[in-house]
Amino acid sequence: LQNSDAMELDLYKTEAFPDLTRSSGVPTFSLEDSLPSYPVPKLSDTLDLYLSSTRPFLTDSEFAATRDLARQFELGIGRELQARLEQRAAEQRNWLAEWWRHYAYLTNRTALHPLLNMAGVGPYHHQYWPARDGSATERAAMMCRYYAVVWKSLREQTFPVDKNAAGKYMSMEQFRRYFSSCQLPGRQADTLASHFRPRSEGASPRHFLVLIRGRMFSLDLLDEAEQPYTVAQYYRQLDRLVKTVESSADSSEMGDASFSAGSAAGLYGLPRPDWFEARRHLGSLSPVNQRNLDLVEQAIFVLSLLLDERGCSNKRLLELALTGDIQSVVPDKSCNLMVTGDGVWLNNCGHTPMDGMTIALMTYYVEGQIYKTQVRLLAIVDVKMYSLDCASCV
């Protein structure tokens, strides 16, 4: 970590960010069965909301006609349909979730990138990490460490359970799908595969993917004991990959770490039926192909180093996140992290496994780790430099 990444911080106190390694006493996923089910709104409320949403777009006569139709619906077939919804709600934990995921997301037949995924620019460069040329690998190593800590907190269920403004606990179910989730293409409809498990429920994948100029690599995010590596260890691995790609070295030098070329990565941007056929064909050609497809599917997240992007405007940053090079993102994956050559962070996340607030909360906890790192750096004062007599060293 370089001193130029340490800044004076005065917007937050360290205590504002909880320690993810210590349990609050409420395991992360322990309250799901006790939370109330999603209610079916009253038919009258649904129609009132519908009418209020149409009012700005209709003339007075058009709105009057629409209001009459809504009244007819309420007194007619609407009653039967409302009763069916209420019956479904009485039989299922959540009457809407399955329909919403299937019809809003999984039956989409267009490419996920850029039409369905969520994308944005990380907040970190505004306060902690101003753009600095050549900082991508260094900051990527730090981010690997931060995300490993978050992963482990979810795995051990020490990640805090979210609350609303009234202090009531919220569902954490979507956090199960933040890591190691993948939207698998289908001919008529996709499926959502989620491989993350809390420790009490079994094993979880430990690897993540790295994309550099169309080359794809797999690295372990945690060791065999599921402990995060040090920032220096992440840095050495990432730096090795960058130097290999920049020197155009043959992928065989990387052994099992390198498993995909840019031409294959681009297939993820096909319309879903085409990608379904291509993926199935690739898997049938070779067991190695199928192994690599499985590695992508199960990876914790994707880290993309955009080494050639520097000095980007806000518009360009958002373009990179949402509509950038398809070889720099795996749209099927739940979490794609991207960093430019000067250390600015972007993300591209699947909308099928989670909503935007899940990403916002995750960003908050990552920001907390970055903040605490900066505070520790600023606490190192009065550093004395000592010279070594190298001639007397053995």
Domain boundaries, the chain: 3-36+113-378, 43-95
What does the mean pLDDT of the chain come to?
A: 87
* C-alpha torsion sign, points 160, 165, 168, 174: negative
* pLDDT tens column, 35-91: 999 899 999 999 999 999 999 999 999 999 999 999 999 999 999 999 999 999 999
- Higher-scoring residue by pLDDT: 266, 288: 288
Kindly report the number of other CB atoms within 10 A of residue 312's CB atom: 19
Helices 43-54 & 77-91 angle (0-180, nearest 10): 120
CA–CA gap between residue 186 and residue 106 (Å, rounded): 9
For the chain, the distance separating the N- and C-terminal CA atoms, rounded to the nearest angstrom, is 28
CA–CA gap between residue 143 and residue 130 (Å, rounded): 15
When pLDDT is averaged across residues 125-148 and rounded to a whole number, the result is: 93
* pLDDT tens column, 331-366: 999 999 999 999 999 999 999 999 999 999 999 999
pLDDT score at 174 = 96
CA–CA gap between residue 86 and residue 83 (Å, rounded): 5
Kindly report the number of other CB atoms within 10 A of residue 353's CB atom: 25
> Which residues, in sequence order, are bridge partners of residue 333?
182
Check: CB of residue 116 under 8 Å from CB of residue 338: no
Name which of 245, 264, 253, 366 is nearest 307 in CA terms.
Answer: 245
CA–CA gap between residue 289 and residue 101 (Å, rounded): 29
Q: Which pair of structure tokens corresponds to residue 366?
A: 């990552």
| Catalytic-residue membership of 102 | no
**Single-letter residue type at 323:** T
**Can you give the C-alpha Rg of the chain in angstroms?**
24
Check: CB of residue 133 under 8 Å from CB of residue 353: no
Q: Which helix (H) or strand (E) holds 20?
A: none
- Higher-scoring residue by pLDDT: 329, 23: 329
* pLDDT tens column, 219-278: 999 999 999 999 999 999 999 999 999 987 554 455 445 444 445 777 888 999 999 999
CA–CA gap between residue 13 and residue 9 (Å, rounded): 9
* pTM, full prediction: 0.86
Three-state DSSP class for residue 335: strand
Check: CB of residue 245 under 8 Å from CB of residue 212: yes
Is 3-36+113-378 assigned to CATH 3.30.420.40? no
Catalytic residue among 113, 125, 195, 351: 351
pLDDT score at 249 = 52
User: CA 233, 235, 237, 238: dihedral to nearest 10 degrees?
Assistant: 160
Q: Which pair of structure tokens corresponds to residue 180?
A: 């190691």
pLDDT score at 130 = 92
Backbone φ, ψ for residue 212 (5° rounding): -140, 110
Name which of 141, 195, 127, 153 is nearest 303 in CA terms.
Answer: 141
Strands (E), the chain: 118-121, 181-184, 191-194, 207-212, 215-220, 258-260, 302-306, 335-340, 345-349
Check: CB of residue 137 under 8 Å from CB of residue 340: no
